[in-house]
A and B are shown apart, each in its own frame.
Chain A
Amino acid sequence: MSTSTVTRTASPLNQLVKALRNAHVQFIVFGALLCLLPFLAKAGLMRNSTLSTLAFVLIYAIIALGLNLLLGYSGLISLGTAGFVGLGAYLAAYFQDDLGLGFWAALLAALVIPTFIGLLVGFVSLRVRSIYLAIASLCIAEILLKTFEQLDWFTHGTAGKQSRFPVLFGFQTDRSTVFIIIVVALVLGMMLIHNTVHGQLGRALHTMRSSEVAAQAMGVNVLKYKLFAFSMATLYAGLGGALYLFFLRSSYPSTWNLFMSLNIIAMVVVGGLRSIFGTVAGAFVIFAVPELVLKKLPVIGDVAGLPYIFSGLLIVLVIMFFPNGLKGLADLVVRPFRRRGQAPTPAPSQPETEEVAPA
């Protein structure tokens, strides 16, 4: 932590190891590795369909990151995620294609408008009991779904909205470039969440989840922080929606149903509440495993409801037997190789808080 130790052991390898301890460096390295994937696909080393699946994994990871702040850190449930993602997608399409305002305006609209609606919904429901947010967001999702089906000038109804790859800084993007845009968004999203949770904001959210009365006694305006968490979740949902549209270039109302919201909850739970990399892993398990593995299994691969059962059972089993999800699993594997840690307490999430911003 202090500068003296750095000068003492300044061999390049040590410095590299030290740099990798910094979470932001980890995110950037992770992103850089992901950026190689489109080139693998271009070189024929990876199927294009696999690249698409991975792109959706990353988009879902972004959405799930936002939800993790809400569910994991704040202990609040939203059942409206899919509605906000869909709204982001349609707004991006509307601003880019119908209004012709370009990539940035489309992105901004997809970020701002869902967040604003989220704030309104949160304000109405969060004043009572936390669980009201789940119900209110569920009904907003129903309203949005109906809007997607009915508001023809905006969404093109059930026929589906068609879009195209965006033009960015005068360049026409393609699948690979949009993939890289998604990666950049993911890395930025991870950094922002990391900053949020390692500081006063994160501590306030933690305290609020653990005990609302204690949080209030310590001066935390509970409503304000709940609203913050929910608006972050909707912000990430809107972002995910815009990226979804830019990558797939179409949107159909039926996509944005309750089961997408539930799947995203499954990603957070399976990956590990309050874990950033865990959330990405969770998105992979919930989205890519059914897509890449389950569907290819003999006999049961054809069963229509299989992905639902897979997600649902994982939620139940993880909460029952493995409350820290994949993150907990990783800790279990890594622990013997670390210095003796703490007693087996609920959520060992310590290493990251150790490194403070350098003075």
Chain B
Amino acid sequence: MDLVLQPFLRSLETGSVYALAALGIIIVWRTSLVMHFAQGSMGMFAGTAVAFVFNRSGLPLWQSVLVGVAVAVALGFLVDFAIIRRLKRATAVGKEIITLGLIMVFLGLAPIVFGTDPMLLPRFIPSGDIKLAGANISYNGILNILIGVVIAAGLFLLLQKTKLGLAVRATASNESTARLMGVPTRSVTLLAWAMAGVLGMLAAVMIAPTTTVTPTFMNTVQVSALFACVLGGFQTFYGPVVGAYLIAVLSNFLKLYVSSVWGDQLMYLLILVFLIFRPNGLFGKTYMQKV
């Protein structure tokens, strides 16, 4: 077994999960200027819904995921419609604290709605793997990597090439100006929260087969996604995606070659040290205050 390529391929798999979660955070950040701390928890809730439907109703996995999409969109709409957009006078910090409150709400709600027993969720492609220059990768792993790359690329094209993307970018750069220019900023923001929900749900469904579905199973993903944004910088959409893959690679190699116990912690420290030298992240520009 190859000791470089193997962990690298593994990393691409988890990197895709982190990238999706990070994209959710960045979309909300760019449109609402709010750090979406509940991204992981909302993904957890929708992902648990998928596991619940799959285990209880016997629907095939892909149909269960469709149910998950519906749940995630509904949650995203609900959070923006019922809470965020009503906070006209609250500061960004106020909104961020709200997302912290939402973590607790979803964490408490999940066992009440879906029961307290931990659930399992199978892989999309149950078995089979291919050999690649001495390393193994499962079909499911390839699928996960593809999902991550395709969605990231698709979102990128959507944002750069379509009218919708223009609206999102306009809202991101200056909400009130965008509104005056006729951009439906409310719909854009609503859409951003829903998209974040779906991305979080996908991340949850992809990471679930490696663990059991419990209220805390998305914690690592949430922390990694936040760090991916910090590492890649908050100003671009591609930065956090690159950051996500880097974090996954770094984490896996540190765990393999330095310490299986302290790998993640070492990586956190490394990123903090990195911040000293490049405070705005890999692709970030110096942020200029408006006076």
Contact = CB atoms under 8 A, between A and B. Distances in A.
A160 interface: no
B268 interface: yes
B118 interface: no
Interface of B: 35, 37, 83, 86-87, 90-94, 96-98, 100-112, 116, 215, 219, 223, 226-227, 230, 261-262, 264-265, 268-269, 271-273, 275-276, 279-280, 287, 289, 291
A313 B223 contact: no
A130 B35 CA distance: 11
Q: Name the 4 nearest CB pairs between A and B, nearest first.
A: A312-B104, A315-B101, A305-B108, A308-B108
The secondary structure that dominates the B interface is: helix
A312 B94 contact: no
Interface of A: 71, 75-77, 79, 121, 124-125, 127-132, 134-136, 138-140, 142-143, 146-147, 150, 212-213, 258-259, 262, 265-266, 269, 303-316, 319-320, 323
A313 B105 CA distance: 6
Contact of B287 (A77, A125, A128, A258): A128
Nearest to A261: B100
B275 A124 contact: yes
A150 to B, nearest CB: 6
Contacts, number: 137
A135 B265 contact: no
A131 B35 contact: yes
A312 B37 CA distance: 13
Q: Which of A140, A306, A312, A323 has the most CB of B within 10 A?
A: A312
Contacts of A316: 83, 98, 101-102, 105
B101 A313 contact: yes
Contacts of A121: 272
A308 B38 CA distance: 14
A305 B110 contact: yes
Nearest to A212: B289
Given A76-B93, A305-B107, 9 more contacts: A77-B93, A130-B93, A134-B37, A305-B108, A305-B112, A309-B108, A316-B101, A319-B101, A320-B98
A79 B40 CA distance: 15
Contact of B223 (A139, A212, A310, A315): A139
Given A213-B289, A304-B116, A315 B104 contact: yes
Contacts of A306: 108
17 contacts: A77-B97, A79-B100, A131-B35, A134-B96, A139-B268, A142-B265, A143-B268, A146-B261, A146-B264, A146-B265, A262-B100, A303-B111, A316-B101, A316-B105, A320-B83, A320-B90, A323-B94
The secondary structure that dominates the A interface is: helix
Nearest to A313: B105
Contacts of B276: 124
Q: Which of A75, A134, A138, A139 has the most CB of B within 10 A?
A: A139
Given A266-B101, A269-B97, A319-B97, A135 B108 contact: no
A241 B216 CA distance: 24
Contacts of B116: 304
A298 to B, nearest CB: 16
Given A131-B35, A131-B96, A316-B83, A259 B90 contact: no
Nearest to A321: B86
Contacts of B110: 305
B268 A312 contact: no
A308 B271 CA distance: 31
B90 A139 contact: no
Given A129-B287, A316-B102, A139 B271 contact: yes
B96 A139 contact: no
Contact of A143 (B37, B226, B265): B265
A307 B105 CA distance: 9
B103 A312 contact: yes
Contacts of B103: 258, 262, 312
B252 to A, nearest CB: 17
Q: Which of B262, B268, B273 has the most CB of A within 10 A?
A: B268
B87 A138 contact: no
Given A303-B112, A309-B104, A315-B100, A135 B93 contact: no
Contact of A75 (B93, B268, B272): B93
Contacts of A313: 101, 105
A122 to B, nearest CB: 11
Contact of B108 (A136, A140, A142, A312): A312
A305 B111 contact: yes
A311 B94 CA distance: 15
B240 to A, nearest CB: 12
A259 B35 CA distance: 18
A130 B94 CA distance: 13
Nearest to B34: A131
A221 B162 CA distance: 44
B107 A75 contact: no
Contacts of B280: 128
A306 B107 CA distance: 10
A259 B105 CA distance: 11
B291 to A, nearest CB: 5
Contacts of B105: 308-309, 312-313, 316
